[in-house]
Structure 1
Amino acid sequence: MEGLSDQELMARIAAGDAAAFRILSRRHAPRALAVARRILGSSAAADDVVQDALLRVWIHAPRWRPAAEPRTWLYRIVVNLCLDEKRRPRAAPLEAAGDVADPGADAAANLEARERDHLLAAAVAALPPRQRAAIVLTYQEGLANAEAAAVLDTSVGGVETLLVRARRALRAALGGDD
């Protein structure tokens, strides 16, 4: 069953096939989790969102349209749940201090790279949720603008507008040329 396409797995899931659901989950949950972590900035909240998204896939599988890509449908559910989560007022969780530096690498270069990564992550986290989602989906997850548009339930032009605004805000936040 591992060799089945996502569409074939979804057809089986719609019929109640738990084994097909496990395969589809194993195939796409890690990337969905990465998307949720990047949007939410919290591993615990991302885990909850992805579990909820997978549960919704299982429950609503009979409503899935075969013309739709299952990965895009899952990402859309994840992004929508992330946006809902971001709207809820909460105290910010205390995240880990960061990755341990490679002891064999140049310490100054490691420090500079970590600082640059931290500044970029902070600037992305400060973006409005839909702009952040567009950046995560296109740049970090490598989705085409058309796929990102399907996930965000907007047009390709809408995604491009979100990306232009996000890049402009990132350049301003990071002190780049405008």
Structure 2
Amino acid sequence: MHLSAQSFTQACREGGRQIETWLRVVDREHGARFYREAAAALRSWQAAEDVVQEAMVKVWQRCASFRSTGDPIAWIHQIVRHTLLDALRQRAVQAPREEALHDDDGQLTHEAEAAVLGLSVQGVATPEGALAEHQVEAVFRRCFEQFAAVHPEHATVLRWVVEDGLDNAAIEGLLERSPGATREFISQCRKKARPFFAAWYTLVGPTGGTP
């Protein structure tokens, strides 16, 4: 089956077995990408499976609102991301507040930031000359994992911006915030990330990039 806007619109209109078959093809061809993205944010394959399954139910329920001029896979991916953000926010509500790590504004306390910086640079020698690219990438991945463990929603949004290239308008739609509030949220993502990337900054220097 060709996953076109026309075939999706037809499947939505006919419902039943047609839409079920269409979504099975989506799962086979694109499901792995959806699961990996959710698992990276939630740090759990089981939780990722629940998110993607919930998103597919929403697709089934909302398919009548799809506009035939759009890309159905992009539309479905957006629903997956909305569902993932909801899951991350629900976790944040349920999790006990980490008083020792954060101040009233949600920023790392000076003591916690110092501890994070110490963790980040522990065991990482200052390179003489250029470090092998795979070593720099390994440090970046470790820093990002530490960041995501403490700020999963902010890390997920930052990944969408940096890795997937989503612009502010796309993030605005996912967060369901105003343009100004979206810009502020992305700025907060970067601010929260900086302490965790101390080791990476040490390796790449001031011109190496900004997470």
Work out whether the TM-score is over 0.5.
yes
* Distance across 1 between alignment mates of 2:170 and 2:80: 14
TM-score under structure 2 length normalisation: 0.59
Pair 1:44-2:46 in alignment: yes
CA RMSD of aligned residues (A): 3.2
Asked if the contact 2:161–2:167 (Cα under 8 Å) also holds between the matched residues in 1, the reply is yes
Give the one of 128, 136, 145 matched to 1:121. 145
Asked if the contact 1:13–1:21 (Cα under 8 Å) also holds between the matched residues in 2, the reply is no
Aligned to 1:25: 27
TM-score under structure 1 length normalisation: 0.68
Consecutive unaligned residues in structure 1, runs of 5 or more: 92-107
Pair 1:161-2:184 in alignment: yes
**Alignment map for 1:103-122 (pairs within 5 Å):** 114-122=138-146
Aligned to 2:84: 82
Asked if the contact 1:32–1:74 (Cα under 8 Å) also holds between the matched residues in 2, the reply is no
**Deviation (angstroms), 1:134:** 1.7
Asked if the contact 1:72–1:150 (Cα under 8 Å) also holds between the matched residues in 2, the reply is no
**Deviation (angstroms), 1:169:** 1.4
Aligned to 2:63: 61
Consecutive unaligned residues in structure 2, runs of 5 or more: 97-130
Asked if the contact 1:146–1:156 (Cα under 8 Å) also holds between the matched residues in 2, the reply is yes
Pair 1:12-2:10 in alignment: yes
Indicate the structure (1 or 2) with the bigger Cα radius of gyration: 2
Give the one of 116, 123, 142 matched to 2:165. 142
**Deviation (angstroms), 1:32:** 1.9
